[in-house]
Amino acid sequence: MNAYDLARGLHILAVIAWMAGMLFLPRLYAYDAEQADKPEPLRSEMQALLRLWQLRLLRIIINPAMILAFVFGGWLLWLRSGEGADWGFVAQPWMIAKLAGVFALSAWHGFLAGARKKIAAGTSTRSGRFWRMTNEIPFVIAIVMVLSVTLEWTFG
């Protein structure tokens, strides 16, 4: 086993955990939004439970997984560069697409974290339909990222 394969495996595992959390969290938000029509005390009890799950998912799985994905991804970049010698590959179209995907996933992560705060404060205006419609955003971004890295496509 070499360092590159180890870094790649750990990066993939971290990304899987990050993606799993970001695919599930909007579903919890949808369930939370749909509690508005429920009678008390069932509504309050269910919202309290959903909000606890939301917080735990974000703090215990999603945030640490993102940090680990960044750490192992950075390690991969460093190893791929020849341990800091040649960074030319970063300007390749496939890597630009991958890094754009990292930025987009990070932005979506930030959006979800901000939404959790609004939901917890009771100030969210998002519907269950909104959360279901946006639930697959991370997966669509991941498709572009994975194909970019595995195919290493170029123009010309």
Cβ 93 vs Cβ 153: under 8 Å: yes
Whether 37 has a pLDDT exceeding 90, the answer reads no
Tell me the whole-structure pTM to 2 decimals: 0.92
Mean pLDDT for the stretch of residues 142-153: 93
> What is the tens place of the pLDDT at every residue in 59-111?
999 999 999 999 999 999 999 998 878 899 999 999 999 999 999 999 999 99
Distance CA 35, CA 29 (A): 10
From CA 79, how far away is CA 68, in angstroms rounded?
A: 16
pLDDT at residue 156, rounded to an integer: 63
What is the Cα–Cα distance from 5 to 58, expressed in whole angstroms? 28
Beta carbons within 8 Å of 94's beta carbon, 6+ residues apart: 148, 149, 151, 152, 153, 154
Asked if residue 11 has pLDDT above 80, the reply is yes
For the segment 42-68, the average pLDDT, to the nearest whole number, is 96
Ranges of H-type helices in the chain: 3-33, 42-56, 63-80, 93-121, 128-134, 137-151
Checking if the pLDDT of 154 tops 90, the result is: no
